[in-house]
Amino acid sequence: MTTGSIAAPHNDPKEHGGAGNGNASLSILALVAMIFENLRLLLLGPAIVGLVTFGIVSLLPPWYTSVAYLKIDEAGARTADALMHSTPVLDKVLAGFEAPRDTVEARRAFLDAHRRIMVAPGEIQMIANLHRLEYSDRDPRVAQKVNSLFIDAWLDAAKPTSEERMKTEDEIARRELEVKSVSELLDRLQRDASLSNKEPVSAWDLIQDRDKNLATIASLRSSLNVSREMVFSPPDLPAVPSWPNKGMIAVLAGFVAEILLLIFVILRRFSSV
């Protein structure tokens, strides 16, 4: 017997590959057999956990969310959210609704925690022109009432005073002059390309400056046109609870129970080996 004949069996890749595939097949078969052995536990356990979770969640008090739609853009939504978060607006809301807390600060925090502004469904983030204002409470009528109070207090706070209106109009006029001068300069640059080498800034910078001023002008004008027309849809009276979602919570609880039971079965099998 030669050395080559002795070493050949150890270096044959087919034999090693076959052994590896055999071990993998045995492992999969062992796992399947283990699942079938504990099939009743793996099926009944999650079902029982889901049913118990559904029963417990059913005992929780439901919450209702009143929804109003506002015709405002992203900048307007950020401004509205900041105003509704402010103390003057929260105090105006508290004047019409006694929040269930002991101190004024706690009542303000309670109101702010149950209100939010978000992009309306179907709108695209950053360019949305329709947003929804939500307020949640255990009583659907209270949710609708407080949502209406928030809108009224926000509109009152957003309306500019005569002095603020005058300053805003002056700023709009100043920026309109800048836009006009930049547009005239761009026209000259388009007519005579040799002027582009003499100007301290490029045409692209001028275009960006003009567009920025136009966006600011639009925002300033919208701040002067605060009215009830910004409310596209008034707060509704919710009929269906928004929380808790009993079915979804029960399904998630059953899924988690299934994973934990499967891990338990595998660990018990390894510990008994």
Q: Is 7 exposed, middle or buried (0-12, 13-18, 19+ CB in 10 A)?
A: exposed
Rounded to whole angstroms, the Cα distance separating 164 from 216 reads 16
Q: Span 133-139, mean pLDDT? A: 96
Distances in Å between the Cα of 85 and the Cα atoms of 23, 174, 247 are: 63, 31, 34
Beta strands in the chain (DSSP E): 64-70, 115-119, 131-137, 231-233
Range of lowest pLDDT (5-9, 144-148, 158-162)? 5-9
Strand pairing class (131-137; 115-119): antiparallel
pLDDT value at position 4? 47
Contact, 233 vs 68, CB < 8 A? yes
Greater pLDDT, 161 or 109: 109
pLDDT value at position 65? 96
Give 135's strand partners. 66, 115
- Can you give the pTM of this predicted structure? 0.63
Q: Which of the listed ranges 25-34, 64-73, 161-170 does the model predict with the highest average pLDDT? A: 64-73
The confidence band for 188, taking pLDDT boundaries of 50, 70 and 90, is confident
Q: Using the predicted structure, report yes or no on whether residue 15 has a pLDDT greater than 70.
A: no
Over residues 148-166, the pLDDT tens digits come to 999 999 999 988 878 888 8
The confidence band for 7, taking pLDDT boundaries of 50, 70 and 90, is very low
Give 117's strand partners. 133
Q: Using the predicted structure, report yes or no on whether residue 200 has a pLDDT greater than 70.
A: no
Distances in Å between the Cα of 175 and the Cα atoms of 28, 92, 188, 214 are: 73, 35, 20, 8
pLDDT value at position 13? 47
The confidence band for 1, taking pLDDT boundaries of 50, 70 and 90, is very low
E strand or H helix at 57: helix 39-58
pLDDT value at position 138? 93
Over residues 206-249, the pLDDT tens digits come to 888 888 888 888 878 877 777 888 999 999 999 998 877 777 88
Q: Span 132-138, mean pLDDT? A: 96
Q: Is 117 helix (H, G, I), strand (E, B) or coil?
A: strand
Rounded to whole angstroms, the Cα distance separating 64 from 238 reads 6
pLDDT value at position 195? 56
Q: What is the dihedral of CA 27, 32, 36, 42, to 10 degrees?
A: 100
Q: Is 112 helix (H, G, I), strand (E, B) or coil?
A: helix
pLDDT value at position 3? 47
The tokens describing 248, both together, are: 């979804």
Mean pLDDT of the chain: 84
pLDDT value at position 57? 78
pLDDT value at position 267? 84
AA letter at 35: I
The confidence band for 271, taking pLDDT boundaries of 50, 70 and 90, is confident
Range of lowest pLDDT (185-189, 208-212, 213-217, 251-255)? 185-189
pLDDT value at position 196? 54
The confidence band for 81, taking pLDDT boundaries of 50, 70 and 90, is very high
Rounded to whole angstroms, the Cα distance separating 158 from 205 reads 33
Rounded to whole angstroms, the Cα distance separating 61 from 73 reads 35
Q: Is 125 helix (H, G, I), strand (E, B) or coil?
A: coil
**Over the range 195-226, which residues count as b (16 or more CB within 10 Å of their CB) and which as e?**
eeeeeeeeeeebeeebeebeebbeeeebbeeb
Rounded to whole angstroms, the Cα distance separating 94 from 80 reads 18
